[in-house]
Amino acid sequence: MENLKNKQDRIYLTGFMGTGKSTAGAYLSRVTSRRVIDTDSLIEKETGMSIAEIFKLHDEAYFRKLERSVLTSTFQLQNVIIATGGGLPCYKDNMKLINANGISVCLMARPDVIISRLSFEKNIRPLLMGEDRIDKLNLLMQKRVYYYISADILVDTSDKSIDEIVKYICAEAGIKK
């Protein structure tokens, strides 16, 4: 693995939905005194629509273009943590761009843990709408794993506390708290 010190200005949290990107981003922000940015929140702010509304009114390709635009806008930022949407690294060459412009951290979890975490949310994620949520989840994970595993740092969040996750990220990325 290349020296991550050169890429420390931007920490990109990637991974499947429900793996803890938003939670880890907020905690990592407090521990490191870095600002945290959520790409989905930026898209919602820019469009004035929720992610679900964007998917309802447009197609996934339209949403992925919005994600790409938000991603490239982060490349000049310094001292930030960027929590990406679950599919952002899997569109075109986004993961290569993330790796070139910061430290990429992929949060992972077992499918049963993800389903459990998502069951606490009031809104069903657009890509998991309908019947057979577990089958859809497994299929999406299989399609995306190639992109996720190319991250600089991989963390299984299934059985770890948020404190353990953030300590691991800081240690692996060489970030002092």
Annotated binding residues, written as ranges, equal 18-23, 40, 64, 86, 125, 144
Output the known binding site for ATP. Answer: 18-23, 125
Output the known binding site for Mg(2+). Answer: 22
Residue with tokens 């994970």: 141
Cα atoms found within 13 Å of the Cα of residue 11, Cβ hemisphere only: 31
Distance, C-alpha 61 to centroid of its chain: 18
CA distance 100 to 151: 11
**CB within 8 Å of 78: residues ≥ 6 apart:** 9, 10
Output the known binding site for substrate. Answer: 40, 64, 86, 144
